[in-house]
Structure 1
Amino acid sequence: MRKAMEICGQIHSVSPVGNVTDESEACPKHWFVALVQMNCEKTANKKLQLLNFETFLPIQIEMHQWSDRRKKVERVVIPMMIFVKLTTKELEKVRNLSFIYRFLTAPGEHKPAIIPDEQIEQFKFMLGNADSEITMEPLTIRKGDKVRVRRGLLRGLVGYASVDSDGNSKIMIVIDCLGCASVSISAKDLEHVK
């Protein structure tokens, strides 16, 4: 127990009775996205697994037809990316591996982005059960979507996405009985609100 807390850099006095945190509470693991070189995803994934890290490399098996034969081929769904479940201490170790280019960050952020467990589970379910090709598409913000500003002076402002007559992105807030107040903003600075 004490060893687990030392690994995380958190040394607490451990009571012999009750209220003892286990390793998963002291060192929570999160999913991160490691970026690797093109066509090296499978090799990098195996290396991470040999180092005892939990990984998820989205692969889909497809049947390819050539003029003289048919063959099952493994296709990496998201090129150059591997999901890795790590503690913050492990993140620093993996970041320094020679075959890891860097970790994916959210736009405007400097810390590696955390991918929620439920999203990984849903993705795994989709990969295991889909009978057609899975593709990745950018999450686009459309007119009328509820959004939040994620950086800049308006950070935290919640409103609705809009587009002006020139095609520029705007955020609008509703003011009852008056209408909407709006301001131009880059779509890169907006995120969807659930």
Structure 2
Amino acid sequence: MNWYVVYTKPKWEKKVAEQLLKSGIECYCPIITQVRQWTDRKKKVQVPLFNSYVFVQLQEAQRNLVFQSSGVVRYLFWLGKPAIVKDEEISVIKKWLEGADGNDVLVESIKIGDTIQLESGPFSKQKAIVQEINKTHYVLVLESLGCVLKMKKKDTF
């Protein structure tokens, strides 16, 4: 069975994942915890890692079953075909989320546009393009996974 990417209505990711699970469809909606600032308080909230995306695992012939859930808009396509996500890529996301708080990244003497290979952590051996460098963090593009990674500089912890 393949993993596909379902595009949802904005802010419907968790609801869609819940509906799909109730329908018996294997799905994965990666969730992260963020601190949100309001005028009177700060609060930790759980938000999807990817806005408007939920991963579903099912047979090609069963792909239309996801449309029984309200909030599902369409499948994500790549080169005219439904985008397929490899099991290894889903595993990398899960592994990264499990250890996201404890990962230190040390990057020295690099510049924007450089291609680097990550040496440790859940994305080890992945190649990344340096998109942004500032005082507190680095922004890296992981082309093989189709995502952007924002990592704190080690001296900002």
How does the TM-score come out when normalised to structure 2?
0.59
1:116 correspondence with 2:86: yes
Runs of 4+ in 1 over 6 A off after TM superposition: none
| Structure 2: gaps of 5 or more residues | 103-112, 116-142, 145-157
1:50 correspondence with 2:22: yes
Deviations 1:142-177 (A, max 9, x none): 899xxxxxxxxxxxxxxxxxxxxxxxxxxxxxxxxx
1:31 correspondence with 2:3: yes
Percent identity reads: 32
Q: Is the 8 A contact 1:31 1:83 kept in 2?
A: yes
Q: 1:127 aligns with which of 80, 97, 101?
A: 97
More strand as a share of residues = 2
Q: Which has more radius of gyration?
A: 1
Q: Is the 8 A contact 1:41 1:81 kept in 2?
A: yes
CA distance in 1, matches of 2:42, 2:71: 33
Q: Is the 8 A contact 1:95 1:103 kept in 2?
A: no
Aligned to 1:75: 47
Deviations 1:45-71 (A, max 9, x none): 111011011111011012334454332
Q: How does 1:1-194 map to 2 (within 5 A)?
A: 29-66=1-38, 68-95=40-67, 97-106=69-78, 108-109=79-80, 111-131=81-101
| Structure 1: gaps of 5 or more residues | 1-28, 133-141, 145-190
Change (3 A) 1:91 1:105: same
CA root-mean-square deviation = 2.6
CA distance in 1, matches of 2:7, 2:59: 17
Q: Is the 8 A contact 2:29 2:54 kept in 1?
A: yes
